[in-house]
Each structure stands twice: as C-alpha cells, then as structure tokens.
Amino acid sequence: MYQQYASNSVAPQHNCQNEMNEAYELGSAMAHEKLSTEDKQLLDEMADDTVIVVPGTYDHIHQVLASLKIPFKTVQQDELITYPLRPQDQTVYINCATAFPEEAARRLRKFVDDGGQLITTDWALKNVLEVAFGEVSSRLLSNRIKNLIFSLFFLIVCST
C-alpha cells in the first residue's frame, strides 16, 4: 500500500533484519512441526560440533541453523588446518569465501575422501572446491557425489 509522507514528516525506517529474523523464526516453527519425534530427539542429542560453520564474506548459514535450533560450531578458515574433523559424523558448511587458505582446502579434500560431508555456497565453489578438487573431472565427480554434496544457498541478506 502506497503511503505519502508530508515533506516535514519522516518516513519510518524499514528494518529488513527484523523481517529476516521473523521469517527465520516462522520457517523454524514450520520445519519443527514436520519433524518426527525421532528426528526431534536426534536434534536434541546432536553434539555441538556435528555441524561446522566456516564464516565467509557473504551468506550466513549460521542464521538459518540457529533459527532452526540446529547446534553448530563456528570454525574460522585458518582454524580448519588443525581442527579435529570427524568425517564419520560431521558436516562442514563453507559460507561464500572470496579468499580461502589453500592448506585448509586440501584438508577438506581429505575430510571428504574419508567420508565427510561438505556443503559450500557460491564463491566457495571457486576458492575452496576448485583448489581442493581441481583435478577431478566432471565424470569422476559424478561418481563421488555420495561423499561430496554441492549445495548452493542463495540467502537474501539485507544490507544496512
């Protein structure tokens, strides 16, 4: 609905972050309604570092996970080089990374080779996956897809 403001009045500020938080909360409530009792119990019993979130330049998967009440641990890019990853039961999310340490990318390659699950966003495809898996052809990649999940999250984030 269009509202006109007098030249001496101040238009209300649009608070996009509040709207995003409300959307996350609504989405969380809807998602939790659909969970089985068993799935809810699994979430309650999940270790805090079963899901690892690596911050990047853009994208904010941690906001989605927090609103869904999924426990996670934040690990910085350079900390991945020595962080004790567990391929048997961990998922690593890499947010949009405009830069990424090569040694950390190579470590993620080993994590995936050993059975770990890696989920990345847009720029991480180039700065993480291309570094870690550059020699893997498209054909070979399709054979390894059970261990490596490419997931693009296009999160709309409001700028202030």
Backbone region of residue 131 per phi and psi (left: phi > 0; alpha: psi in -120 to 50; beta: other values): alpha
Mean pLDDT of 17-28: 81
Whether 110 shows a pLDDT value over 50: the answer reads yes
Mean pLDDT of 22-39: 85
3-state secondary structure of 143: helix
Of 12 and 26, the one with more pLDDT: 26
Of 159 and 73, the one with more pLDDT: 73
- pLDDT given at position 86: 95
Report which listed range, 11-25, 77-91, 109-123, 138-152, is most confident: 77-91
- pLDDT given at position 153: 34
- pLDDT given at position 142: 53
Whether 158 shows a pLDDT value over 60: the answer reads no
Mean pLDDT of 25-44: 85
3-state secondary structure of 117: strand
Separation between Cα atoms, residue 140 and residue 59, nearest integer Å:
29
Question: What percent of the chain is modeled with pLDDT above 90?
Answer: 31
Residue type, 82: T
Rounded to whole angstroms, what are the CA distances from 134 to 81, 96, 105, 131?
Answer: 19, 18, 11, 6
- pLDDT given at position 22: 84
Whether 16 shows a pLDDT value over 50: the answer reads yes
Whether 6 shows a pLDDT value over 50: the answer reads no
Average pLDDT, rounded, for the chain: 76
Beta carbons within 8 Å of 92's beta carbon, 6+ residues apart: 52, 54, 80, 85, 108, 111, 116, 117, 118, 119
Output the six-digit token pair for 122. 């847009």
**pLDDT confidence tier of residue 10, bands split at 50, 70 and 90:** very low
